[in-house]
Amino acid sequence: MRHKNVKINSGFLAALLVGTVALFFAAARGVTKLLPPGPAWWDSYPPAKNLLPQPEVPKGVIFTFPLNNSKIFPGTQRNIQVYIPAEYTGKKPACVYVRLDAFGPWSFATFNNLIYKKEIPITIGIGLPAGVTPSVPANTSQRFERSYEFDALNDNVGRFIIQEVLPAVERRRTPSGLPILLTKNPNHCAIMGGSSGGTAAFTVAWDNPNVFRRVLIYNGTFVDMRGAEDYPSLVRKTVPEPLRVFMGDGCHDEWWPGAEMGNWWLNSRAMESALKFAGYQVHHIWGYNTHSGALAAWTYPKALRWLWQGRHPRPITAGISGNPVLKQIYRPSQHWQRVFSNSAGLGNLACNSRGQVFVQSPATGKIFRVSQNTVQLYAAIHPGHGGMAVGPGGHLYTLNAARGDITEINSHGQTRIIATGVRGNNLCVMPNGNIYVTDTAAGTLWLVNRQGKVLEVAHGLNGPTGVAPIPDDHWLCVAEGTSHYAMSYRIEPDGTLRYGIPFYWMYQPGLAANSGVGQLCFDRGGFLYAATRMGVQVLDQANGFCTAILPIPRGYSRRITGICFGGEGFHTLYVTTAHSLYARKMKSQGAIVSRVGKALPRMKIPWH
């Protein structure tokens, strides 16, 4: 009996061993998509044929020039490389390929071969190394700024390329005297990088899809260096951009030292998974390589052919995200439309029960009314007003922080001051007439009731800005402009607040120390819409975390300050930047707090 058990167990163990080995190789085939045959050692990939010069192929020319007077990276020095293909005639704009870090020795031969074979378009290459800042005296120590420039999730490198590098290239001529004409078509512009340069390449294109739409990344540092480990989450939550992304990495990818930053290989896989989830055009080649250029040397021609889609690149369109919240709230076919611009600046927004939106210019005191995207001057009050909200009777109420008063504006645009001695920056008006006022400098939230009685209902806040009740008026949300939280309070029957916690959590970009959250509003599903430095962050009422991000049209700043729903059926989301008002049609419907009761009486505030 014992012998029989031993035989059964041995058979079981043998089967288990065979199954484990089979599963291992099956997993390996799934994890590593290698071009056969695999290398004998991690980095022993043979170079691709098209990486080598070929005698019948005409050679392009390369020249360099210094760029040492940057306003975006002051004090830095670097030499810009420019590759001009032999086929370039100077008669029409060429495609653009920016290589973060200098070009490798095999890059130019690859361009020569593929352009000659008409497998990629006629392309001008621009090599952009990271900056170095020398010390004083010269020829001593220097500061290497590669990680500062490339690993950060901010718009510095994008602005540097668009505002300084590309114009500097176009101001020069080829060695043969031809003018350098660079295309302005984003479908004809690519950006590439390896390691930190790969992360920067994605950042530049993601922030500027109106300039770059093709991205090539090898061994990207999507790890915990300067925030890039957040990219997979941000990609999953953000409305997808029209980008085409090629990724290459290996299961032995790691920079030493650097293991403490995270698992480089797994983070690249997570990034690729996020891009697919979000609907991007993405392709990859995974290998066994370490943190080296071996895989790139083997696959570079293949990557370029896929990236460019042939000699005549086809337009790239945004995909459909798999994000369930985005599917619920936004329409992929609808985009931000600029409704109005004002050189004097724009501030907060408010909406009445008819869907009419009000936008103010604090510097001039003018308030404009937007109805069916037609803008007209509605009222003119004293400059300096900040907070604005619609209250009982459908009247508009604005708070002037400098003068310390609250102005009521009726439906005919007539104004009257109803309260003086008010200290604060923003406000919301409840259906019962209670007013909540945020005092940003003091970190305080005040309650002013219809009788003019003032109560401090919260203190110790981090720069409170926007304030809004959730749709049932039982809870109050208060944004903290100098943190990445918004507070949640239970509203008591007498208007006081209890059980406040930093419930809502928001992202903060790049070099920013906070989310910069301003105004707030809710939709009927209970989602909180916050105006932040990253655009509109949409937060879940049940859990308080950010579930979706709606960036405004990309430029050099994504920050918005004002936000509200309005328009027909309250299906249009309005936001303000420093000088512009944008609108976007949504699936979600704005929650307009019921404005019952009579207009507020005149109050003299006994401020302490």
The pLDDT of residue 593 is 67
Tokens of 316: 């790239």
pLDDT at 27 over 50: no
pLDDT at 553 over 90: no
Band (261; pLDDT cuts 50, 70, 90): confident
Taking the CB of residue 3, how many other CB atoms lie within 10 A of it? 7
Tokens of 149: 């420039």
- pLDDT: is 230 or 29 the higher one? 230
The pLDDT of residue 595 is 60
Question: How far is 325 from 549, CA to CA, in rounded Å?
Answer: 10
| Exposed/middle/buried for residue 528 (C-beta within 10 Å: 0-12, 13-18, 19+) | buried
Question: How far is 519 from 517, CA to CA, in rounded Å?
Answer: 7
Region 314-318: mean pLDDT is 96
Question: How far is 68 from 131, CA to CA, in rounded Å?
Answer: 9
Task: Report strand pairing: 95-100 vs 79-84.
Answer: unpaired
The pLDDT of residue 413 is 84
The pLDDT of residue 319 is 95
The pLDDT of residue 293 is 87
The pLDDT of residue 260 is 86
- pLDDT: is 424 or 128 the higher one? 128
The pLDDT of residue 402 is 81
pLDDT at 444 over 60: yes
146 phi and psi angles, rounded to 5 deg: -60, -50
Task: Report strand pairing: 520-522 vs 497-505.
Answer: unpaired
Out of 29-43, 229-243, 486-500, pick the least confident. Answer: 29-43
Band (42; pLDDT cuts 50, 70, 90): low
How are the residues of the chain apportioned to helix, strand and coil, as percentages rounded to the nearest 5?
Answer: 20, 30, 45
Backbone dihedral region for residue 70 (phi beyond 0: left; psi -120 to 50: alpha; all else: beta): beta
The pLDDT tens digits for 98-120 are 999 989 878 999 999 999 999 99
Domains with residue ranges and CATH for the chain = 51-308 (3.40.50.1820), 324-386+434-440+462-594 (2.120.10.30)
Question: How far is 578 from 36, CA to CA, in rounded Å?
Answer: 55
The pLDDT of residue 370 is 95
The pLDDT tens digits for 503-513 are 999 998 877 78
Measured CA to CA in angstroms, residue 441 lies from 13, 424, 469, 605 at distances of: 70, 8, 22, 19
The pLDDT tens digits for 342-377 are 999 999 999 998 999 999 999 999 999 998 879 999
CB 464 within 8 A of CB 483: no
182 phi and psi angles, rounded to 5 deg: -105, 135
Region 43-67: mean pLDDT is 89
The pLDDT of residue 509 is 82
The pLDDT of residue 473 is 77
pLDDT at 19 over 50: no
